[in-house]
Amino acid sequence: MNAEAVRERAGDLPRKPGVYQFERSDGTVLYVGKAVDLRDRVRSYADPRGERIRRMVRRADRVDFSVTETETQALLLEANLVKRFQPKYNVRLKDDKSYPMVQLTDHEVPRIQITRDPNEGATVFGPYTDKGRVETVVKALRETFGVRGCSDHKFRNRDRPCLDYEVGICSAPCVDYVDDEAYLADVESVRRFLDGETGALAEPMEAAMEQAADDREFERAANLRDRLDAVEAFHGGGAAAVHGREERAVDVLGVAIEGGDATVARLRSEDGKLVDRERYPVSAPDGGESEARPAGEPRSERAEPASGTAALLSAFLTQFYAERELPDAVLLPERPEDPDVTDWLEGEGVAVRVPGAGREATLVKLALKNARRQTGRRDESAALAAELGLDGVERIEGFDVSHAQGKAVVGSDVCFVGGDAATSDYRRKRLDDRNDDYANMRALVRWRAARAVERRDDRPDPDLLLVDGGEGQLGAALDALDEVGWDVPVVALAKEEELVVTPDGVLDWNDDAPHLHLLQRVRDEAHRFAVQYHQQVRDEVATTLDDLPGVGPELRKRLLRRFGSVDGVRDASPEELRDVEGVGDATADTIVSRL
């Protein structure tokens, strides 16, 4: 687009807060931004100050936009769209978390639903920062107005109402328990509330609370009171946050920028103790520098350009805390470039500080060191990609199966991002009992692939799958991928000689190769996680030990952990049995005689 095309398009936009998208004619989104005034903001791109944004505007063919009710909603919608479209010219956190929205579908019998991917044609409200509060409010809406929340499949061809009607959260339009006119009137009441008319829901809830108190149903009255608090805070953009509260949970962030890539390290402190350390890869075009905003937006005017760190933090904070619990405080190396981000966090009750000295400053320095440590991890990821002929292997998922002679069969699916374990993305699966390692691996990978293809897995697709084993396990994984149609590279790593088995052959790398060490870490973690789950499942399985006098659930677990199986307990001598905590002479004699 040239300058005249940008000005002409800007003239068509409203003077309202919202989000704008610069796009190619094929639908590719190049850049997403937010604005207090869409018309003024987009007009500023007719003469952008930064070369990066100037290139973006030249490549764009059109500008799309969405209007929001508040600046905070624009901030959160921007974060959602950046994660959905991964635009080349935005700072992007490499995960897929996003903020929840509420939609009323355009069916003849509309449905209310919390979603992160709205339907075409639906009326969408949000996004919102507090998923728990959204769930509370949607449940209250359904209890008050009876709007359906079920899928189309569940709604169609019913001859009697489902459980939602029985528990009082649906008026059963599926079987005509409510006529069309009355149902649509209830939908309109829901719409009025979501549009900002709090009294549409608060007033009937308050009446129900008072009635419950009059009927001496004090527990129900207290429950309605708590939900009424959430309802009244729903449109306040954080008005329900508790200010001045004790800072139990504190996040400390450090940033390291290297060219177009960056790492944000987070330290998590709870009750004054460090409990977690994680690093997150971020795509930072031109080192995270953002273009200056137009002079028409006084809240963002600056005497000098913000640093790359400040600009990156502005994007990272909103994207990171989607679907994550906000801390009581966040400690940063610099203030975010965008004051709207700070206002949003503080409005949600989060204290934002840039410490200059003391323990808090030491924690920020530690976070910075953790961020800089990622350089070596990025090198080994790049080396692995080069050796395997891939564009990149930022995200690896590792798979292993554990069982005891075909019993208590389980599978693990661990995830590494940027060379580090991403424990929040670990998954595990109980498999059918069978003593066939290849069939078990095939079932495990098929399960993961099917969930990905059917969009039932909330994680992004990995760049590489790693299975624990050799050619047989690799063949089983490839069969599963072909069967489901999931196109993801996969290799295997055999323990004996540490050979990397690929579909094209076997690779024998040097023992000190950093890219081999990366695969070994993933493989070993998948094995550990699978064995841990197998032990848990095995201990939960009913055994003949359950029928023995004097052997309760805890003692049964100790016996199985000590001897591995019922057969191991059977083969143990009385002396070995008595070595187990809780086994006395009488219990040992009982176990020996009965088994």
Query: Taking CA 261 as the corner, what is the angle to CA 351 and CA 54, rounded to the nearest 5 degrees?
Result: 95
Euclidean distance between CA atoms 354 and 272, whole angstroms: 18
Q: How many CB atoms lie within 10 A of CB 250?
A: 22
CB within 8 A of 276, min separation 6: which ones?
A: 266, 267, 268
Residues in the chain, total: 595
Strands (E), 27-122: 29-35, 62-67, 92-93, 101-104, 112-115
Q: What stretch(es) of the chain map to CATH 3.30.420.10? A: 249-291+305-371
**d(Cα 58, Cα 50) in Å, to the nearest integer?**
13
Q: Are 287 and 337 in contact (CB under 8 A)?
A: no
Q: Is domain 249-291+305-371 annotated with CATH 3.90.420.10?
A: no
SS3 190: helix
Positions of CATH 3.30.420.340 in the chain? 377-538
Question: Do residues 543 and 566 lie in contact, with contact meaning Cβ atoms separated by under 8 Å?
Answer: yes
Please give the CATH superfamily to which domain 3-88 belongs: GIY-YIG endonuclease (3.40.1440.10)
124 touches 102 (CB < 8 A): yes
What's the N-to-C CA distance of the chain in angstroms? Answer: 82
Residues 371 and 254: beta-carbon distance below 8 Å: yes
Provide CB contacts within 8 A for 457, sequence distance 6+. 448, 451
Beta carbons within 10 angstroms of residue 188's beta carbon:
14
Q: Is it true that domain 542-594 has CATH number 1.10.150.20?
A: yes
The CATH 3.40.1440.10 portion of the chain extends over 3-88
User: Could you say which of 3.40.309.10, 3.40.50.970, 3.40.50.720, 3.30.420.340 is the CATH number of the domain covering 377-538?
Assistant: 3.30.420.340
d(CA 519, CA 524): 9
* Helix (H), strand (E), coil (C) string for 385-414: HHHHCCCCCCEEEEEEEEEECCEEEEEEEE
- Pairing status of strand 29-35 against strand 18-23: antiparallel
Q: At what angle do helices 358-372 and 374-388 cross, to 10 degrees?
A: 20
Q: What is the pLDDT along the chain (595 residues), one digit of tens a residue?
A: 888 999 999 999 999 898 999 999 888 899 999 998 999 999 999 887 677 788 889 889 999 998 888 888 888 888 888 878 888 888 877 655 667 888 999 898 999 988 877 887 888 887 777 777 788 888 888 888 889 988 888 888 888 888 888 888 898 999 989 888 889 988 988 888 887 777 777 777 778 788 878 888 777 777 777 777 767 767 654 333 333 446 788 999 998 887 677 888 888 888 777 777 777 878 777 655 554 444 344 433 333 344 588 889 988 998 888 767 889 999 999 988 888 899 889 888 899 999 887 778 888 888 888 777 665 555 678 889 888 988 888 899 999 999 888 888 999 999 998 888 888 899 999 999 899 999 999 999 999 999 999 888 888 899 999 999 999 999 999 999 999 999 999 999 987 788 999 998 999 898 878 889 899 999 999 999 998 888 777 765 445 666 677 777 778 777 877 776 677 777 788 888 888 888 888 888 888 877 7
Name, in order, each residue with C-beta under 8 angstroms of 350's C-beta and a sequence gap of 6 or more. 241, 326, 327, 328, 329, 330
Listed residue (256, 261, 253, 257) closest to 277, CA to CA: 253
Residue 281 φ then ψ, to 5°? -75, 140
What is the DSSP annotation of 367-380?
A: HHHHHHTHHHHHHH
> Which secondary-structure segment (H or E) carries 5?
helix 3-10
